[in-house]
Structure 1
């Protein structure tokens, strides 16, 4: 869906991005992560030509991006940023419907799309459609920004630190909503963050950048287990990588059949992470947990020895 081939970007004598190659498959959630100034936002903005690349090629669906008019290319891609970019004197409804109106959709179709997206993102139409950005909380404004990015039903969604200014609870809620949206809509997403926990939680493909280059890319578990160098290992959490891996794996990966000796008193859901299970064990001073399904029926057990001593088949 998106392919960068030996792409370089220079600003005068300064090289911001140097000779990077990256392929993002259709429907993949790709997260660019790295320290400040590593080139991740520049890379994102080259994809929709907000910044022009200096060397190399960028393809969308097999076609070079410079074959498109800039406006045409950008309208094919949703774009969400940390500051939301909402027009302060426009209502929520008008902000979300911006791109469909530019594409000259019929008024009724624009209205239907706005209402559909507001419902999808948990914004009651009667309550929020007529409000202005200044009347919204940070989380609500960010939802409007995501809705606007999705309004013209683009195949590609570019997101630059979209949740970076939010409090931890709101940020975690929106991460879960974005994961649920991705599961339903199957958009191709390129997401920039400096928050490694957020990157690991969201990514299908994780791309670690440093000083304008890609240092390593692949599935989050693969990078956690086999970082290519000390920089990547440190960025991924150093000695904390084991806990970060545990946060990615569900309890069902290490679950054993029910123990005939009886059920453990403390319980954990099958979809909980191994990190959550470990936290329960530490908090409750328990070496065994009964694993329950969505209806709270016992389906297996997890022991501390099993949790720390065996890897599943992931």
Structure 2
């Protein structure tokens, strides 16, 4: 879907991006991470030509992006930024319907699409359609920004620190909503963040950048197990990498079937992360949990030895 071949970007004498190559497969959620100034946002903006690359090539579906008309290219790629970019004097409904109107969709089709997306993102039409951005909370405004980016049903979504300005609770809620949306819509997403926990939670492919170059890329668990160097290891949490891996691994992956012993008093959900199970064990001072399904029915057990990877 998206391919970068030796892409470089200069700003005067400064090299912001230095000969990077990357392939983002169709339907993949690719997260770019790194310290400030590493080139991740510049890389994102070169994909939809908000910034023109200096050298190399960027392809969408095998076609160089420079062969597309700039306006047409940007209308087929959803773009979400940290401050939402909503027009303050337009209502929520009008903001969401912007790109379909520019594409000259029939009025009824635009309205139906706006209604569909507002429902999808938990913004009831009757309550929010006629509100203005100033009347929204940060989380609501960011949902409107995502809805607007999805309005013309683009195959590609670019997201530049979209949740960076939100409080931790709202941020986590929107991360989970994005994962739920992605499970249903299967968009190709390139997501920029400096928050490693966010990156690990969201990414199918994690791309670590440093000083304009890609240092390492792969599945999050692969990078946690085998960081390429000390920089990557430090960025991933250093000696706390095991805890971050536990946040990615589910209880179902380590549980055993119910044994002959009495059920442990404390319970954990089968789809909970191992980090939650460990927290429960520490909090309640136990070394075994009963694993329950969605209906709170016991289906297995998890011991501390199994949680930390022992086969016994």
TM-score, length basis structure 2? 0.99
Q: Which residue of 2 aligns with 1:53?
A: 53
Give the 3-state SS of the residue equivalent to 2:178 in structure 1: helix
Query: 1:211 & 1:295 partners in 2: Cα distance?
Result: 49
Residue aligning to 1:29: 29
Mapped to 1, the partners of 2:196 and 2:126 lie a distance apart of 37
Query: Structure 2: how far apart are the matches of 1:176 and 1:261?
Result: 36
Residue in 2 that maps onto 1:260: 260
For residues 91 and 266 of structure 1, what CA distance do their matches in structure 2 show? 49
Q: What stretches of structure 1 move > 2 A for 4+ residues in a row?
A: none
Which 5+ residue runs of structure 1 have no aligned equivalent?
none
- Post-superposition shift, 1:3? 0.2
2:217 alignment partner in structure 1: 217
Query: What is the distance in 2 between the residues matched to 1:289 and 1:67?
Result: 58
* TM-superposition CA deviations, 1:117-165 (whole Å, max 9, x none): 0000000100100000000000000000000000000000000000000
The CA deviation string for residues 20-64 of structure 1, in whole angstroms up to 9 with x for no partner, is 000000000000001100000000000000000000000001100
Instruction: Find the counterpart in structure 1 of residue 80 from structure 2.
Output: 80
Q: Deviations over 1:40-91 (max 9, x none)?
A: 0000000000000000000001100001000010011000000000000000
Number of residue pairs the alignment of both structures matches: 311
Distance across 1 between alignment mates of 2:90 and 2:50 = 24
Alignment match, 1:236: 236
* Counterpart residue number, 2:40: 40
Structure 1 distance, partners of 2:104, 2:9, is 34
Output the CA distance in 1 between the equivalents of 2:283 and 2:204.
31
- Which residue of the partner structure matches residue 204 of structure 2? 204
1:309 partner SS: coil
Cα distance in structure 1, aligned partners of 2:121 and 2:310 = 39
Who is 2:145 aligned against? 145
Kept after mapping to 2: 8 A contact 1:206/1:219: yes
Query: Quick one: distance in 2 between partners of 1:104 and 1:173?
Result: 34
2:96 corresponds in structure 1 to: 96
How far residue 262 of structure 1 moved from its aligned partner, in angstroms, is: 1.5
The separation in 1 between residues aligned to 2:63 and 2:273, in whole angstroms, is 41
Deviation, 1:259, is 1.9
For 1:238 and 1:246, the matched residues in 2 are separated by 14
C-alpha deviation, 1:309, in angstroms = 2.9
* Secondary structure of residue in 1 paired with 2:234: helix
Indicate the RMSD between aligned Cα atoms, in angstroms.
Answer: 0.6
Q: What's the CA shift for 1:7?
A: 0.3
What stretches of structure 2 of length at least 5 have no aligned partner? none
Whether contact under 8 Å (1:254, 1:310) holds in the other structure is no
| Cα distance, 1:310 vs structure 2 | 3.4
